[in-house]
Amino acid sequence: MGTVLHDSVLGEGPDVVLLHGLFGQGSNLGSVARALQSHFRVHSLDLPDHGRSAWTRAPSIPSYVEAVAAWLKERKICRAHLLGHSLGGKVAMGLALAYPGLVDRLIVADIAPIAYQPSHDHIFEGLAAVSAARCASRSEADGVLANHVDEPGVRQFLLMSLAKTGPEQALDWRLNREGLALGYLELLAAVPGEASFDGDTLVIRGADSAYVRDTDMTAVRSLFPRSQLVTLANTGHWLHVEKPAEFNAQVLAFLG
């Protein structure tokens, strides 16, 4: 697997690495990066199989952890704060458990280190339909995607990963939709970890999201004993988008 990860950098100071969720890209956490850039050097990564990063044959939490660890070493970043949302939160947790020396403070946005049930079949179907349609515009792609994905906000999130490809300049996905489909169950699996991470950890969840239930915090605290939980009211899974001011304030306060 190629370890080359695309990244963008804002600001100067201690290093903070931002990791996005499934089907996303580093720019999804742009509001967080802009909120932090006055105090930190903020790296927004595209995870493997997403955005402009290399595609892999077998997507999994451990393989993504290794890719981010290799990227840190290539950039000569000896230690960094990590912030991950959803899938990115799982990768951040996995990195903290596998390479605790590389991680200073850890922030996990609306995800737990547990296994989740499949829930994205309709999205994979929509991605395949758009690829087959060879759309010429985003509005055309949105119309195809709407046959599979009802929520306009989710469609707009997905459409951010479209790019013109080939001699016809038709729109297709930057993300590795076929590889992600094959590795989907691996990405839903529990975060592997035989030892705990003793660093300071903040879990931020949305009150209206089912991704981090009260009972899931037992698993969090067993692996991250110095963890604290913050719940943002009237907020779902996309908490950094729905409540950016509140989310960013929590992040800044935690990072000091």
Give pLDDT, residue 168: 82
Residues 174 and 53: their CA atoms lie apart, in Å, by 9
Amino acid in the structure at residue 147:
N
Residues 151 and 163: their CA atoms lie apart, in Å, by 21
DSSP for 31-79, please give it. Answer: HHHHHHTTTSEEEEEPPTTSTTSPP-SS--HHHHHHHHHHHHHHTT---
Give average pLDDT by consecutive 10-residue segment, the chain, 256 residues.
Answer: 81 98 97 98 98 95 97 97 98 98 98 97 98 95 97 95 88 96 97 93 98 97 98 97 97 96
Residues whose CB falls within 8 Å of the CB of residue 208, separated by 6 or more in sequence, listed in order = 234, 235, 236
Helix, strand counts (H, E) of the chain = 11, 9
Tell which residue, 212, 243, 246, has the closest CA to residue 229: 212
Tell which residue, 89, 130, 129, has the closest CA to residue 106: 89
φ, ψ for residue 172, nearest 5 deg = -150, 175
Is there a contact between 47 and 19 (Cβ–Cβ < 8 Å)? yes
Residues 84 and 97: their CA atoms lie apart, in Å, by 14
Domain boundaries, the chain: 7-115+189-255, 121-182
Which residue is listed with tokens 């990244």?
7
Tell which residue, 74, 67, 73, has the closest CA to residue 91: 67
Taking phi over 0 as left and psi of -120 to 50 as alpha, with beta for the rest, 47 belongs to beta
Kindly report the pTM of this predicted structure: 0.96
Which CATH number does 7-115+189-255 carry? 3.40.50.1820
